[in-house]
Amino acid sequence: MTGEVPIVFLIPSYEPTETLCDLLAELRRASPSHIVVVDDGSGADYAPVFQKAQQVAGTTLLTNAVNLGKGAALKHGMNHILVHHPDCAGVVTADADRQHAVTDILSVADELMKNPRNVVLGSRRFDTSVPLRNRFGNAVSRYVYRSLIGLNLGDTQTGLRGIPRWLMELCLGIRANRYEFETEQLLIIQASRVPVQEIPIETIYIDSNRNSHFRPLRDSARIYFALLRYSVANLVTEMVDSASRSRPRS
State the total domains in the chain: 1
The H or E element that residue 191 is part of is: helix 180-192
For position 225, what pLDDT does the model report? Answer: 72
Domain for residue 250, yes or no?
Answer: no
Residues 201-249 have pLDDT tens digits of 998 866 545 556 566 667 666 766 776 775 665 544 555 555 566 666 6
In a domain, 89, yes or no: yes
Domain-embedded: residue 207: yes
Assign residue 201 the CATH number of its domain: 3.90.550.10
**Which pLDDT score is estimated for 52?**
97
For the residues of 147-173, what is the DSSP string, one character each?
HHH----S-TT---EEEEHHHHHHHTT
The answer as to whether 129 is a domain residue is yes
What pLDDT, on the 0 to 100 scale, is given for residue 130?
67
pLDDT of residue 141: 81
* pLDDT for the residue numbered 3: 45
Ranges of residues in the chain whose predicted pLDDT is under 50: 2-4, 208, 235-236
Question: Does any domain span residue 136?
Answer: yes
**Does residue 206 sit within a domain?**
yes
Answer yes or no: are the C-beta atoms of 122 and 199 closer than 8 Å. Answer: yes
**What is the model's pTM?**
0.82
Q: In whole angstroms, what is the distance from residue 141 CA to residue 83 CA?
A: 34
Domain that holds residue 84: 7-245
For residue 2, being part of any structural domain is answered with no
The answer to the question of residue 115 being in a domain is yes
Report the pLDDT value the prediction gives residue 168, as an integer from 0 to 100. 96
